[in-house]
Amino acid sequence: MGRSPVRDRLDTVFAFDRGVLVLSVAMFAFSLGFQMTTRYLPEYLQVLGASGLVVGLFGTVGNAIGALYPYPGGAISDRIGSRRALTLFGAVATLGFAVWLGASWLGPIQVGPFVVEPWIWVFVGLLLAQAWKSFGLGATFAVVRQATAPGRLAAGFASTESVRRLAFLLGPVLAAVLVAQGADFQAGFRYVLALAVGAGALGTLVQHRLYDASQDSIGRAFAGIDRIVADLRAMPPSLRPLLVGDTLVRFGNGVVYVFLVLVVTRWLAVGLETIAVGQWTWAIDLAPATFVGLLFGLEMGVAIAVMIPAAAIADRIGYKPVVASGFAVYGLIPLALIVAPAKPWAMIVVFGASGLRFAGLPAHKAAIVGPAATDAGGRVTGTYYLVRNVVVIPSAALGGALWTWVAPPVALAVGGAIALCGALYYVAAGKEPSIVE
């Protein structure tokens, strides 16, 4: 009796070595912590007294961290091995979650002539919490690169991404449930932050105890700026148009990303009170802060549903069309939010469609790391993200200025237009990558 094509595809996607599987478990734990917390942090900042401009600056600080962390993170991974690197980064990130939790109990602190507002600690926690996500980026790419056959890279990244996106699905939904349990948003969000600390500690322990480091390829020591310049010059040609298009897309997304939660909770103020289907009516009372968590969960549910089929298509027909399709969705969603009515069904449609932007993510990652030599995957990844994220740094500040001083629809329109320019550039100039055997 023959095996079904579906079974063969699932085996292809999920049959990887222990390193990839352990990494997937750690990804689930940390992603659960991140997605329970970070999507709500703009609302948390405003509850703690921050303005819309401060929310934008928070996003820009996050962008700056994303630009500064990946390259040394990739270099550290190549130098000391993925297991030690990921353990270190995991412990630091867990401490960051704890700082966010502590901020909820701190009031203004007088330090001489200055007042330290409680929202400042959210910035401090961000410096730590981003460690696993950004420092560990090169290490996670390197693990998959070393453990996966060249012709299966998109499927390899689909396996880790699908597990991670499962946490992206559960995280906001679980956060919405916990937020609803509190007397107010701040009280409910404390439950979320406490659970994030536990998830981070579990992820750190799992990757330290179970990850087999015997297959790690240890590269050269970090050689500072000279190494960065050399890696930029040696970047495979197929990465250059991808980098330009991706940078424009991420800049546009950065203009609007931190404000998506505020679109639902404050600008449109959309909650969910009743559901009627024919003669049946269910009484529901979901505040906007709870409803937006369910919307983020819906977005990730769509992402999980399309990611593995999209990876299979990419491995068969090429990475470029799949990546370009995902880029286009980044630009269309902010524009859709401008014209969407302030109704629950409209938010469900828009956020569901937003999940389609993740369809190209496994192919995108494979296109980045595939052209690299096996023992240089961390550095190539770090270099790519260093360049992209440096350019993207001011995007959230621009979004904050437009949101605060002009109008929310203008911020959404500018972000969407920039992202669409990036998608069109990649369609015109992008090349199919050559995967190194």
Look at 3-7, 82-86, 375-379 and tell me which has the smallest mean pLDDT.
Answer: 3-7
> Is residue 74 one of the residues assigned to a domain?
yes
Q: Is the pLDDT of residue 192 over 90?
A: yes
Predicted confidence band of residue 146 (pLDDT cuts 50, 70, 90):
low
What is the pLDDT at residue 307? 84
Pairing of strands 114-116, 109-111: antiparallel
Residue 44 CA to chain centroid, in angstroms? 19
Q: Is the pLDDT of residue 154 over 70?
A: no
Q: Are 71 and 228 in contact (CB under 8 A)?
A: yes
Q: Which residues contact 337 (CB under 8 A, 6 or more apart)?
A: 263, 350, 412
CATH code for the domain in which residue 28 is found: 1.20.1250.20
Angle at 74 between CA 121 and CA 423, to 5 degrees: 85
What is the pLDDT at residue 211? 62
Q: Is the pLDDT of residue 158 over 90?
A: no
Report which of 244, 241, 199 is spatially closest to residue 30, judged by C-alpha positions: 199
What is the pLDDT at residue 15? 45
The DSSP secondary-structure symbol of 150 reads: G
Secondary element (H or E) of residue 162? helix 153-181
What is the pLDDT at residue 5? 42
Average pLDDT, the chain: 82
User: Around Cβ 423, how many Cβ atoms within 10 Å?
Assistant: 25
Residue 111 φ/ψ region, left for φ over 0, alpha for ψ in the -120 to 50 degree band, beta for the rest: beta
Q: Average pLDDT of 200-220? A: 68
User: Around Cβ 358, how many Cβ atoms within 10 Å?
Assistant: 24
Residue bearing the bigger pLDDT, 16 or 23: 23
Q: Whole domain around residue 35: which residue ranges?
A: 17-213+220-429
> Is residue 4 one of the residues assigned to a domain?
no
For 368-424, write each residue's pLDDT tens digit: 876 655 555 556 676 787 788 889 999 999 999 999 999 999 999 999 999 999 999
Residue bearing the bigger pLDDT, 112 or 159: 112
> Is residue 5 one of the residues assigned to a domain?
no
Predicted confidence band of residue 270 (pLDDT cuts 50, 70, 90):
very high
Residue bearing the bigger pLDDT, 13 or 108: 108
Q: Which residues pair with 283 in a beta bridge?
A: 274
For 346-383, write each residue's pLDDT tens digit: 999 999 999 999 988 888 888 887 665 555 555 667 67
Q: Is the pLDDT of residue 314 over 60?
A: yes
Q: Which amino acid would we find at residue 270?
A: V
What is the pLDDT at residue 119? 96
> How many separate helices (H) and strands (E) can be counted in the chain?
20, 4
Q: Is the pLDDT of residue 8 over 50?
A: no
Predicted confidence band of residue 208 (pLDDT cuts 50, 70, 90):
confident
Residue 284 CA to chain centroid, in angstroms? 31
Q: Which residues contact 214 (CB under 8 A, 6 or more apart)?
A: none
Predicted confidence band of residue 289 (pLDDT cuts 50, 70, 90):
very high
Pairing of strands 114-116, 272-277: unpaired
What is the pLDDT at residue 161? 62
Q: Which amino acid would we find at residue 129?
A: A
Q: Are 417 and 182 in contact (CB under 8 A)?
A: no
Pairing of strands 272-277, 109-111: unpaired
Look at 205-209, 216-220, 361-365 and tell me which has the smallest mean pLDDT.
Answer: 216-220
Q: Average pLDDT of 217-235? A: 62
Rounded distance between C-alpha atoms, residue 367 and residue 318, angstroms: 10
- Kindly give the interhelix angle for 137-147 and 70-80, rounded to the nearest 10 degrees: 50
| C-alpha to C-alpha distances, 11 to 4, 15, 28, 217, 310, nearest whole angstrom | 11, 5, 20, 26, 16
What is the pLDDT at residue 96? 96
Q: How many residues does the chain have?
A: 437
> Is residue 98 one of the residues assigned to a domain?
yes
> Is residue 96 one of the residues assigned to a domain?
yes
281 burial (CB, 10 Å; 0-12 / 13-18 / 19+) is exposed
Residue bearing the bigger pLDDT, 274 or 102: 102
Rounded distance between C-alpha atoms, residue 260 and residue 269, angstroms: 12
Pairing of strands 280-286, 114-116: unpaired
User: Around Cβ 328, how many Cβ atoms within 10 Å?
Assistant: 20
> Is residue 6 one of the residues assigned to a domain?
no
Residue bearing the bigger pLDDT, 389 or 220: 389
User: Around Cβ 225, how many Cβ atoms within 10 Å?
Assistant: 7
Number of domains comprising the chain: 1
Residue bearing the bigger pLDDT, 28 or 123: 123
Look at 53-62, 221-230, 428-437 and tell me which has the smallest mean pLDDT.
Answer: 221-230
Q: Are 56 and 401 in contact (CB under 8 A)?
A: yes
Rounded distance between C-alpha atoms, residue 99 and residue 105, angstroms: 10
> Is residue 248 one of the residues assigned to a domain?
yes
What is the pLDDT at residue 14? 47
Can you tell me which residue has the tokens 């322990």? Answer: 205
Taking the whole predicted model, whether its pTM rises above 0.85 is answered as no
> Is residue 125 one of the residues assigned to a domain?
yes
